[in-house]
Structures are given as C-alpha cells and as structure tokens.
Copies of this chain bind each other. A is one copy, B any other.
Amino acid sequence: MEKIVRQSLLYDFYGELLTEHQKSIYEDIVMNDLSYSEIARLNGISRQGVYDMIKRCDKILEGYESKLKLVEKFVNARNKIADIQESIEVLKTKNQDEQLGSMIIDIEEKTSKILEDF
C-alpha cells in the first residue's frame, strides 16, 4: 500500500486519538497535500519540527493499528465486498429474468453501501 494511502486509512480509523494540534498538521500533510515548508510557515515552527511531528503521529497511529488491526480488518472486508461485486456482475449477465434482475440490482446497491459509515 502506498504510504499516503496507509496514512490516510490510519488517520480515518485512529485520528481522533491524536491531539487537535497533531490532527491539524497531520491533515495538512496527508489530506490537504501541503508541503512541509508551507506547514512550518503557517504554524510558526521549523520544517524539522513538522517532520518530527508527522513521524511521531505515524508512530502513534501505527501503534494503535499494531494492537487493534482495524485498518487491516477493514481492508480485508473491502476486498471481500469487491469480490462479491464481481460475482454479482457475472450473475447479472447470466440472468434473463426481469424480476430477478431488479432484485439483483437491489442487492448490488446494498452491497456497495455496507462499509459507507467507515
């Protein structure tokens, strides 16, 4: 997994356990794609300070993940849903019955929403 994707997932799951200050800086780097220099200037700290804080946040978030493994479980569940969606696609092409067809589409739509809260 690309580093920024992992950071984003870790933040989605455990970000609320960081302090407001940590969250703000982590979001600026990971979600808002600002540069270290920009964030240093905006927060009145050194570039090295920003670097250290991101590294510290990564460590905190990875620490929670190593204990709770919720990103891993979520990614597994998401892959299983993608696999089911492929099976539903095949089912749709094989099916000839109109009534069944709309039931299958209903199941497909519901399946795409299973993890929407996460």
Chain A, 11-51, CB within 8 A of any chain B CB = 13-14, 16-17
- Main secondary structure on A side of the interface with B: helix
Check B77–A115 contact: CB distance below 8 A. Answer: yes
Interface size on A, residues (CB 8 A): 36
Contact of A68 among B16, B97, B107 (CB under 8 A): B16
- Chain B nearest Cβ from A89, distance in angstroms: 11
Which of A1-9, A52-60, A79-87 is near enough to bind chain B?
Answer: A79-87
Check B84–A110 contact: CB distance below 8 A. Answer: yes
Check B83–A110 contact: CB distance below 8 A. Answer: yes
Set of chain B residues within 8 Å of A106, measured between Cβ atoms: 87
